Amino acid sequence: MLRAIGVLLAATAAARAADAPPLAVARPAEAASVAEALFVEGRRLMEAGRLDEACAKLDESQRLDPGGGTRMNAALCRERQGRLATAWAQFKLALSDARDDRRDDRVAFAEQHLTSLEPRLPRVVVTVGQGAPGASVLLDGLALGPAALGVAVPVDPGRHEVVLRADGSAPRVFTFDAKEGVTTRLTLEPAARDHARSTRQQRGLFSASAGAAAVVAGGAFLLVARSRQADADRVCPGTSCSAAQAGAVDDNASAHRWARAADVAFVLGAAGLAVGSYLIVTSGPAVSASAGPGGGFVALSRRF
């Protein structure tokens, strides 16, 4: 079987010209020429085990000059690279191409690999709790519509990102590790936690705002105290004042009262700013996700 597969892959380069209509009709000759060079180089790199470079060249060749043989090789490259879901999707398309082209050899090749890949595929099932009506979900940047929620979606092995956007709350970012042959189930429950977070943030903002206002008031009080003290010093520059300078004594007492008020305002302002900053910083989102029955272990993290 391995020998037969090798013969089949070696033959795809020669058969590629039959995959597309004449160049003059379908696409510029330059694009087809570049695509052919990329295909040959991609096949060489794949046989040499340089899979990242090989897959990139085969993908670009397929983009420039689509063909069933190129797609089949790109799928095989992704399979060897370990990107199982990507390979599975490309083999599905290659199978359709082969059937349209009546290439029974390619049909058999694609079906063989699809059968092998099916049980190995990592999958993820994403659901959103009832507390987040109208929420939108992105899986690795791809929007999952309502019909896709609750469906086992194939993904490549490795780290993936799910973003949840619910009305009235900041986006939540969840990450999970997909493992070969394992279905991960994520249930996102943002509503109750978002409300608590929002309340904590509002309290923090209020406290910080009040603290800032108190600091400003303290500054104003201090200016008044200095002004009153300056008036007293101008009328009575010495340490003792005559009866005619009684007003200076009153100004001095008033200056001390305003200074004490400034001290109190500064202390309250600093406390308000400290408490407010603490509440805001510690109001980060808490992740709510779970791995369901048969889902295996799922590692989650969070960030703003």
Q: What is the pLDDT of residue 273?
A: 86
pLDDT digits (tens, 9 = 90+) for 189-231: 764 554 555 677 778 788 889 889 988 987 888 888 788 777 7
Q: Reduced to 3 states, what is the DSSP secondary structure of residue 138?
A: strand
pLDDT tops 80 at residue 270: yes
pLDDT tops 50 at residue 1: no
Question: What is the DSSP pairing of strand 183-188 with strand 172-178?
Answer: unpaired
Indicate the average pLDDT of the chain.
79
Residue of 247 and 156 predicted with greater confidence: 156
In this structure, which amino acid lies at residue 222?
Answer: L
Q: What is the pLDDT of residue 223?
A: 87
Q: What are phi and psi of 173, to 5 degrees?
A: -115, 125
Model confidence band, residue 95 (pLDDT cutoffs 50, 70, 90): very high
123-186+286-303 is a CATH 3.40.50 domain:
no
pLDDT digits (tens, 9 = 90+) for 23-55: 444 457 788 999 999 999 999 999 999 999 999
CB atoms within 10 A of CB 69: 26
Residue of 299 and 110 predicted with greater confidence: 110
Q: Reduced to 3 states, what is the DSSP secondary structure of residue 102?
A: coil
Q: What percent of the chain has pLDDT over 70?
A: 74
Residue of 46 and 172 predicted with greater confidence: 46
Query: What gap in Å lies between CA 278 and CA 287, rounded to an integer?
Result: 20
259 Cβ neighbours under 8 A, 6+ residues apart: 221, 222, 225
Nearest residue to 212 (alpha-carbon basis) of 258, 266, 259, 280: 266
Question: What is the DSSP pairing of strand 158-165 with strand 136-139?
Answer: antiparallel
Nearest residue to 276 (alpha-carbon basis) of 219, 201, 216, 170: 201
Mean pLDDT for the stretch of residues 181-196 = 74
Query: What gap in Å lies between CA 109 and CA 73, rounded to an integer?
Result: 11
Model confidence band, residue 123 (pLDDT cutoffs 50, 70, 90): very high
CB atoms within 10 A of CB 52: 10
2-120 is a CATH 1.25.40.10 domain:
yes
Report residue 278 as tokens: 């603490």
Q: What is the pLDDT of residue 245?
A: 55
Mean pLDDT for the stretch of residues 161-171 = 82
pLDDT tops 60 at residue 299: no
Q: What is the pLDDT of residue 284?
A: 57
Q: Reduced to 3 states, what is the DSSP secondary structure of residue 177?
A: strand
Query: What gap in Å lies between CA 191 and CA 248, rounded to an integer?
Result: 63
> Domain extents for the chain?
2-120, 123-186+286-303, 194-281
